[in-house]
Amino acid sequence: MDFHDLRQWLTMVARDGELKRIRGASPELEMAAITDIVYHEARQSAPALLFEDIPGYPDHRSLFGMLSSPRRVARALCLPLRTSSTRLELVRAWKDRAQGIKLTPPVSVRSGPILDNVMTGSKIDLSIFPSPRVHELDGGRYLATDHAVITRDPESDWINLGTYRCMLVDRRRLALHMLENQHGRIIYQKYQARRTPMPVAIAIGMEPGLHFAAGIRVPEGISEYDFTGGILGRPVTVIKGAYTGLPLPATAEIVVEGECLPGELTDEGPFGEWHGYYANRGLETIPEPVVRARAVYYRDHPILTCSSPGLPPNTNSLLFSMGRAAGVWTALDRAGIPGVKGVWAPEELGSLLFTVISIEQRYFGHSMEAARIASDASRGSARYIVMVDEDIDPSDLKQVMWAVATRTSPDRSITVLKDCPSTSADPAIPLSTKKRQGLLRASRAIIDACRPYGQKAEWYPMARAGATLEHRVRRKWRTLLEELLRPG
């Protein structure tokens, strides 16, 4: 997997048959609507969509759904392509790989493709890029929805990269939205406390491994640059920003350098979120930090990488599902919980809100012990933790809900945890609570859909073909079954 930028990676994706080029779509709602239809109705993994010949932006391109299929994720993370055969295998492969990553710092270079074009001073014009309006009720166009916001912690010099949306305000300003528990918001608050400007850079169209790292939760104090170098087995190349001094990805498509001045806010949003709602303040705007652009860099014929969050599944849901499932599985491994067979966060249910764990029970209380650890590991966005036996595939929602419907009794199987931390993105917290800036708390539920420990031997027999019979029939009738099950 020899690639060093987004364009080389897209060449491989195209060879895989997972890139679709679309000409003539408008960034005003059309591109995102096309993407939503494809991702809701595709019978298999949807392709990445590269929009070209964009009306009003003939020299620019926009890419939606970059990391929205198991095969594309495997390519981005340099995992064996066989691991993309199922979502559960992909999570297992990533979990195992992530625990053994050797951090590799970036290497500085003097030049790179990002310096093909430079705008400074009065020449800066962020409106030259085809920033899409994603949803009909959105309050503006968003230059950055699939990107990395780069900041430096003023106390430790730790470089953080996170995916925090950026709304186009005017030719030289962006509005930056960060949730309360995100690393970027914590760093921003430190600069605010010092009453000093926060240097910031926004990188768009990076190599996909760096996009992945910016979109998951890398532990505090570890730079996503170092983490990505470990993923790729080589350092990321960076250029020192002329204005901020921050390390900028040398092969990115677009980079905006700027600063957030103390106390300067502007109205941001509304914007449709990953769970399918306008949940921050409904359709109201929120005062958010202003990024004042001081320099803009972009490649010739640049690619603007975009996401279209909304009613799941969407362009974000696979990445969120993978990150959540791998993180919970890792927490269970580190806690020494035995018998875990798989973890998944169903894309259809909002990824971050619903986690399923398949476990082979080995002692009384085993499933509940695992569920509580998983709930703690899920942080502010968890809602339901569902435990199932080892005979249930946690990535198959039909099997999971069958187990919930047939193996639970509500009085013994559901545990409600009250007053758990949440965030302003939570659609279950009333808007009135958010407006008065009350405590962001919500309840969580554990649904133990495992057969009670000690009763498995006497549980009712299942009415289905056994594994041996199914294997024999699949082998004997392979051609017929492939024909019958072929999409279309």
Domains and CATH numbers, the chain: 101-300 (2.30.110.10), 317-459 (3.40.1670.10)
Over residues 32-88, the pLDDT tens digits come to 999 999 999 887 789 999 999 999 999 999 999 999 999 999 999 999 999 888 999
Look-up: residue for tokens 């008065």?
A: 436
Count of C-beta atoms within a 10 Å radius of residue 14: 15
Residue 1 confidence (pLDDT): 53
CA distance 253 to 484: 44
- Judge residue 411's burial from the number of C-beta atoms within 10 Å of its C-beta, 0-12 exposed, 13-18 middle, 19 or more buried: exposed
Low-confidence residues in the chain, pLDDT < 50: none
Residue 184 confidence (pLDDT): 96
Closest CA to 87 of 70, 105, 110, 106: 70
Residue 282 confidence (pLDDT): 82
Residue 159 confidence (pLDDT): 98
Residue 239 confidence (pLDDT): 98
Residue 91 confidence (pLDDT): 95
Residue 438 confidence (pLDDT): 65
Rg (CA), the chain: 23
Residue 336 confidence (pLDDT): 96
Length of the chain: 488
Count of C-beta atoms within a 10 Å radius of residue 478: 10
Asked if 156 and 183 count as a contact pair (C-beta separation under 8 A), the reply is: no
